[in-house]
Amino acid sequence: MGTDLPTPQAIEPQAIVQQAPAPSRMQMPQGNPLLLSHTLQELLARDTVQVELIPEKKGLFLKHVEYEVSSQRFKSSVYRRYNDFVVFQEMLLHKFPYRMVPALPPKRMLGADREFIEARRRALKRFVNLVARHPLFSEDVVLKLFLSFSGSDVQNKLKESAQCVGDEFLNCKLATRAKDFLPADIQAQFAISRELIRNIYNSFHKLRDRAERIASRAIDNAADLLIFGKELSAIGSDTTPLPSWAALNSSTWGSLKQALKGLSVEFALLADKAAQQGKQEENDVVEKLSLFLDLLQSYKDLCERHEKGVLHKHQRALHKYSLMKRQMMSATAQNREPESVEQLESRIVEQENAIQTMELRNYFSLYCLHQETQLIHVYLPLTSHILRAFVNSQIQGHKEMSKVWNDLRPKLSCLFAGPHSTLTPPCSPPEDGLCPH
């Protein structure tokens, strides 16, 4: 990102699950700031942000994609480019290095086709909604600026608002007391939670892939039905004259063509219903699964920042401190100049202060991770929303298509009209043993 960000450590979800009586609502003991009390409904109600593509504008050299970002909460509508999202995310990481800041989709400057641009728009929408519904981010001035500032220099405004105040550790009154609220086995909880979230992520990733394939099949089915109907229409519209040897059956062929041509309407309707079902499953099932996966990925990223940042820096500081202590002991034993000994003493004191700050940051990082793990479990009931949407989509889709198929069946009667207008539908093959009437 170009910014040296402090890195947090992670807690494992299982320990936190044991503390939470129900996944949909975390009941918190009075007076413990470590524990959250939000429900999924409360988080979703914080805001709904739409991200829509606006027509391409041509710059001096390259085309660029611009988005209209609309917030229900702030009743605002602003224009943003991808780089504005990048700066927004960087400022969130700067201010909240120990929280789940979602990742952004890739930029991919050259060769971006419509499919890629649409996928990125959806990913940006998920990103900004997760941020807008986060208990801390939703109350921060950086979010309000991003969603409502309509000036041309939004990136500078975002940087000014974030860089003049320091990160959450410096601004949280409880930061230096975080250790007091953590359970004694916090490191064990961290390990268990991390493994649990990893397992949940892997399972939901497979579910999302299957849901994508189901939605894609519905859309492919729509295309096939439409082509099927068009081919029937093409047969019915054929103007090739009948050869003389078929003249006796000219009336049969004419009525058959007319009937086939009329069936294309029903097949077009079937195609429309199948396409609607596919799109609904993309929006209500695939997108919600992707939203939850984005959240889980941000937790995994947070765990890595914790280990590679705060924890690693703390370990390096301790190593440096031990070296300085050895130098001090050596200088004292060799009766060096008082000035050099005083300088070493001063450096040791500075290092002790730095280590103390890092220890405080380390515990604050674990404190934040404990809360973020709870947030993951607040989102878990989203699974029932997704399954309900999937089942309803299947029921509604099959119900509507079944009606069209049933309406189509009577129209087939003229296809089986005999020479004297008596219905003679074809029998099933003899091996079936059945003949429909």
Burial class (CB in 10 A: 0-12, 13-18, 19+), 408: middle
Residue 142 lies in a domain: yes
Judged by DSSP in three states, 74 sits in coil
Residues 265 and 394 occupy one common structural domain: yes
Q: Are residues 138 and 230 in the same domain?
A: no
**Are 137 and 220 found together in one domain?**
no
Three-state SS at 354: helix
The answer to whether residue 296 sits within a structural domain is: yes
437 vs 434: CA distance, rounded Å: 10
Q: Determine, yes or no, domain membership for 97.
A: yes
367 and 227 share one domain: yes
Is residue 26 in some structural domain?
no
143 and 219 assigned to the same domain: no
Is the Cβ–Cβ distance between 192 and 248 less than 8 Å? no
142: Cα separation from own chain's centroid? 21
CA distances, 181 to each of 35, 333, 396 (Å) = 9, 43, 50
Q: Is 131 exposed, middle or buried (0-12, 13-18, 19+ CB in 10 A)?
A: buried
pLDDT tens across the length of the chain (437 residues) = 444 443 333 333 333 333 333 333 333 345 688 888 899 999 999 999 999 998 765 444 456 789 999 999 999 999 999 999 999 999 999 899 999 999 999 887 666 678 888 999 999 999 999 999 999 999 999 999 999 999 889 999 999 988 778 889 888 999 889 999 999 998 899 999 999 999 999 999 999 999 999 999 999 999 999 999 999 999 888 888 777 776 665 667 777 888 888 888 899 999 999 999 999 999 999 999 999 999 999 999 999 988 887 665 656 655 555 655 565 566 665 666 666 666 666 666 676 767 777 888 888 999 999 999 999 999 999 999 999 999 999 999 999 999 999 988 888 776 665 544 444 444 444 455 444 44
Query: What is the span of the domain harbouring residue 124?
Result: 40-171
Q: Tell me: do 234 and 290 sit in the same domain.
A: yes
Instruction: Report pLDDT for 228.
Output: 94
Question: Distance between CA 293 and CA 342 in Å, rounded?
Answer: 55
Strands (E) across 201-286 are located at: none
**Overall domain count for the chain:** 2
Same domain membership, residue 265 and residue 386: yes
Q: Can you state the angle between helices 250-281 and 382-408, rounded to 10 degrees?
A: 170
Report yes or no on 179 lying in a domain: no
My answer on whether 233 and 126 are in the same domain is no
Cα dihedral 177/178/180/183 (nearest 10): 180
Q: What is the DSSP string of 240-267?
A: PPPPGGGGGGHHHHHHHHHHHHHHHHHH
Same domain flag for 275 and 396? yes
- Tell me, yes or no, whether 436 lies in a domain: no
Rg (CA), the chain: 32
As given in the structure block, the two tokens for residue 273 are 């219903």
Strand partners, 53: 67
Task: Check which CATH number belongs to the domain holding 74 and give it.
Answer: 3.30.1520.10
Q: Indicate whether 159 and 100 sit together in one domain.
A: yes
Q: How far apart are CA 48 and CA 302, in angstroms?
A: 24
**What is the C-alpha to C-alpha distance for residues 238 and 240, in angstroms, rounded to an integer?**
6
Helices 312-333/338-379 angle, 10° precision:
160
CA 246 to chain centre: 63
Cβ distance 215 to 281 under 8 Å? Answer: yes
Let me know whether 308 and 229 are in one domain.
yes
Q: What is the DSSP string of 108-132?
A: --SS--HHHHHHHHHHHHHHHHHHH
Q: What is the CATH number of the domain that holds 400?
A: 1.20.1270
**Domain assignment of residue 221, yes or no:** yes
Amino acid at 382: L
Looking at residue 383, its pLDDT comes to 94
Q: Does 252 reside within a domain?
A: no
Q: What angle do CA 111, 112, 115 make, to 5 degrees?
A: 135
Q: Is 193 in contact with 16 (CB distance < 8 Å)? A: yes
Task: Indicate whether 388 and 332 sit together in one domain.
Answer: yes
